Amino acid sequence: MDPPTLDWTAPLGEVIAGAGGKVIGTISGHIHRAIHTSAFGVPASSCPSTAHQVAPDFLATEPLLNLEAPGFQLHRWDGAKLTTYTVSLQRMGETFNP
């Protein structure tokens, strides 16, 4: 999840810096883990995978995969704010009334 160097992110940082404050955040996928942080002064979020996840083992030197529940995110922009819903596919559709 954290490569040895983040040099590959420099072009994204330049785009965000050059946008004059118009970028309010970044959203991505293909990280195989829901992660929320900040990058280049704006919120950054990645969604879980619809397949396997990357295990949150911060001492591993190689990615470790696990079979946590797959998921996805739904994003809603109302013209003023972004709301993100993270949905787990495990037991999806099994609803009940409390």
Tokens representing 13 are 């940082």
Closest CA to 65 of 50, 52, 47: 52
pLDDT value for 97: 87
pLDDT score, position 91: 79
pLDDT at 53: 93
For residue 66, is it within any domain?
Answer: yes
Domain that holds residue 82: 7-88
How would residue 15 be classed by pLDDT, with cut points 50, 70 and 90? very high
- Residue 94 pLDDT grade (very low, low, confident, very high; cuts 50, 70, 90): confident
The answer to the question of residue 95 being in a domain is no
Residue 23 lies in a domain: yes
Residue 98 lies in a domain: no
Please write the tens of the pLDDT for every residue from 22-64.
998 999 988 899 999 999 999 999 999 999 999 998 888 888 9
CA-to-CA separations, 96 to 3, 41, 71, 78, 92, in angstroms, rounded: 42, 41, 20, 29, 12
The total number of structural domains that make up the chain? 1
